A and B are shown apart, each in its own frame.
Chain A
Amino acid sequence: KQEVTQIPAALSVPEGENLVLNCSFTDSAIYNLQWFRQDPGKGLTSLLLIQSSQREQTSGRLNASLDKSSGRSTLYIAASQPGDSATYLCAVSKYGNKLVFGAGTILRVKS
């Protein structure tokens, strides 16, 4: 059974700092990995999707990498801002878009 773990569970950083969020998964036979953002009391917003054949994806200040063989992904946020404060969720899928989620990392960026 696929299990997804996110470390750390919570992170507090000063504004402007670069940071890395970690995600690991137990079954490397995935089709893709997605990173989501969730604001308090809201739904999830997709940030980046990495297909299993890809090594990384970038969007603005966000860069996500995937090492399928070791079962790891990282989300790098450059020059963090208070508006980046949210919960970040990692999810992996096999065939058919059925996602298995990690518990998330709660990020607080202090101004």
Chain B
Amino acid sequence: NAGVTQTPKFQVLKTGQSMTLQCAQDMNHNSMYWYRQDPGMGLRLIYYSASEGTTDKGEVPNGYNVSRLNKREFSLRLESAAPSQTSVYFCASTLGQAKLGETQYFGPGTRLLVL
């Protein structure tokens, strides 16, 4: 049981390049989330998917797009990377059945450096 996995672990991009961060979970969870973590700040929600086929914006969605490919996979795409997008990106998932809140399970993160 791998839990939440993310690829790649580390990536260097040049300004203007595009890339997709991949996330997959094997816990049969319905809801998935993308966060970014910057030094000295808490994690901030970028996008989330409450269930397969739905996505919605979080606190900091500008410059990103997402795809909920199926129940297991939720990808985050940077169309034209900017240095301000240098960060550590975390994917998380929850069972998605309890509206009052559930434990979130996190992946190991992707470290992205945009030059």
Interface residues of A in 53-111 (CB under 8 A from B): 89, 91, 93, 95-104
Q: Report how many A-B pairs have Cβ atoms within 8 Å.
A: 69
Residues in chain B near residue A52, CB distance under 8 A: 100
Q: Please tell me which one of the listed residues A32, A93, A103 contacts residue B40 in the complex, with CB atoms under 8 A apart.
A: A103
How would you classify the secondary structure of chain A's contact residues: helix, strand, loop or mixed?
strand
Minimum distance in angstroms from A34 CB to a CB of chain B: 7
Minimum distance in angstroms from A91 CB to a CB of chain B: 7
Q: Please tell me which one of the listed residues A4, A41, A46, A104 contacts residue B104 in the complex, with CB atoms under 8 A apart.
A: A46
Residues in chain B near residue A36, CB distance under 8 A: 106
| Partner-contacting stretch, out of B14-22, B43-51, B69-77, B79-87 | B43-51
Interface contact A97-B58, CB-CB below 8 Å: no
Q: Is B107 an interface residue (CB 8 A)?
A: yes
Known: A34-B104, A96-B99, A97-B31. A44 touches B45 (CB 8 A): no
Minimum distance in angstroms from A89 CB to a CB of chain B: 7
Q: Is B1 an interface residue (CB 8 A)?
A: no
A interface residues, Cβ below 8 angstroms from B: 4, 31-32, 34, 36, 41-46, 49, 51-52, 89, 91, 93, 95-104
B interface residues, Cβ below 8 angstroms from A: 4, 31, 33, 40-45, 48, 50, 58-59, 90, 92, 94, 96, 99-109
Task: Report the 4 A-B pairs with minimum CB-CB distance, sorted nearest first.
Answer: A101-B42, A32-B101, A43-B106, A44-B106
